[in-house]
Amino acid sequence: MQSNLLARETGDLRHEDFTRSITSELLRSFVPAPQHRFNGERTAKHGPTDVGERVHSIRAHGAGVNTLALEKFDGRILLSGGAEGGIKVWNLEDAGNPNKLHTFRPLSSIARSTREESSPGHSHGVTHVAFYPFDPDAFLSSSYDKKLKLWATQRCTLSATFDLNATIYSHSTSPVADHLIVACATQNPAVRLVDLKSGSAVQALVAHGGPVLSTAWSPRHEHILVSGHADGKVRIWDIRRSGGVVALLDQEDSLGIVHKMKHLSAAGMDSSQIPHFRTSAQAHDDAVNGLQWTDDGQYIISAGLDRRIRVWDAATGANTLASFGSLIQNQHAKTASILVSPAHLTSGNNLLFWPNDQEILILDLHDGHIVTRLRSPGVTNPIGPRGARWEETESRV
């Protein structure tokens, strides 16, 4: 740090490079903050102030926490979705001093809808929550109750409900598009596209590979979408085309379409007869439950139940052969959240944040080495649609 400050003052280090260096150090220096707890119970508990005791007595949700979302505009509002079906909104600026003991209380809550107590909320466990890309005052939620819901953030009022008649594992919206289309990964072998503007499910991108477990929109092209399927395939779609699929990612292809076309053309094949991809190509040897793009659109990251994470050149479809070793854990057939550090904010390679059961691994995106490991103090277990094994699951944020 001191050497970078000196280099900046002497003019040997540009301001942009200094900023990237500091950001890189911050991303590598995460530590647990046990002094911060999230209490989502309706009646606050007044008990011991010992941090160790509070860890076991304060819960954000009555059952496991299935999903989290932080709004990107100022990082103030956090959403949490629970296995019991509830959604809570938290204000992270409630803590005046980040180094002192503080218990967060929900800014607002959406209760589970039951036969005894009807509410606009979900009737089963929440699978995914996400803010609308251009408006932090709106967010989307999906659930095992087969519904996608649109909410107003501050008051948690329901704006729209879409019944897709299939379990929705996750959903995604384009960060650059003018359209208001939400891509839903569902239990059926099709990506369901919901148009928030017209209020209907306008299209189904049909495949024959079992359930769809993950989707992700290109950050550069508003009509390009990737989806991960139970048959191990990653399909790339252009939603404007009737056929839909424009490519399949192939774990055996380390050259990519551009180099492959050149090689086959040099061998004398007519370029018009060269297939752009193998219809049998697989990205993973098991279901693909995690997808993410780097924010510059240059790479696609996929994760599968074969315990492999792969990095793909988005322009050519080539497998970059990045190796993340044998520590990767991924055995639950539910959408896995993958985070990648912004390309323009760090010096050197991007960092990949991977939820590895009882820890978070921070890895170098391109060579796969572990930068650091963030250990979770609690135990995490998979959650069923009705909150099965609630007593054994991690219910804290």
pLDDT in tens, 190-217: 999 999 988 887 789 998 889 999 999 9
Per the domain annotation, does 166 fall within a domain?
yes
Q: If you count them, how many residues does the chain have?
A: 397
To the nearest whole percent, how much of the chain has pLDDT over 70?
A: 80
Residue 239 is predicted with a pLDDT of: 93
Nearest one of 292, 299, 268, 276 to 353, comparing CA atoms = 292
- Give the domain extent around 309: 31-392
Per the domain annotation, does 369 fall within a domain?
yes
pTM of structure: 0.85
CB-based burial label for 35 (10 Å; 0-12, 13-18, 19+):
middle
Bridge partners (DSSP) listed for residue 184: 171, 192
Greatest C-alpha distance within the chain: 79
127-148 mean pLDDT: 95
Pairs from 220-225 (Cβ < 8 Å, separation ≥ 24): 220/176, 220/296, 220/297, 221/176, 221/297, 222/174, 222/176, 222/177, 222/178, 222/179, 223/177, 225/172, 225/183, 225/191
At residue 276 the predicted structure's pLDDT band, cuts being 50, 70 and 90, is low
pLDDT tens digits, one per residue of 32-79: 888 899 999 876 544 444 444 445 678 999 888 999 999 998 899 999
Per the domain annotation, does 24 fall within a domain?
no
Per the domain annotation, does 21 fall within a domain?
no
pLDDT tens digits, one per residue of 320-367: 999 999 999 999 989 999 999 988 776 667 899 999 988 999 999 999
At residue 378 the predicted structure's pLDDT band, cuts being 50, 70 and 90, is low
The DSSP code for 59 is: -
Whether residue 228 has pLDDT greater than 60: yes
Residue 56 is predicted with a pLDDT of: 60
* Window from 71-75, 139-143, 241-245, 335-339 with minimum mean pLDDT: 241-245
Under the phi-then-psi rule, with left for phi > 0, alpha for psi from -120 to 50, and beta for the rest, what region is 341?
beta
Residue 397 is predicted with a pLDDT of: 73
The DSSP code for 9 is: H
241-257 mean pLDDT: 86
To the nearest whole percent, how much of the chain has pLDDT over 90?
A: 58
Nearest one of 381, 332, 387, 380 to 122, comparing CA atoms = 387
Per the domain annotation, does 274 fall within a domain?
yes
Per the domain annotation, does 13 fall within a domain?
no
Per the domain annotation, does 9 fall within a domain?
no
Whether residue 133 has pLDDT greater than 70: yes
Inter-residue contact 307 to 232 (CB < 8 Å): no
CATH code (residue 337): 2.130.10.10
Per the domain annotation, does 209 fall within a domain?
yes
Whether residue 309 has pLDDT greater than 90: yes
- Residues with Cβ < 8 Å from 172, sequence gap 6 or more? 130, 182, 183, 215, 216, 217, 225
Structurally, the chain folds into a number of domains equal to 1
CA atoms of 173 and 218, how far apart (whole Å): 10
Which amino acid does the sequence have at 16? E
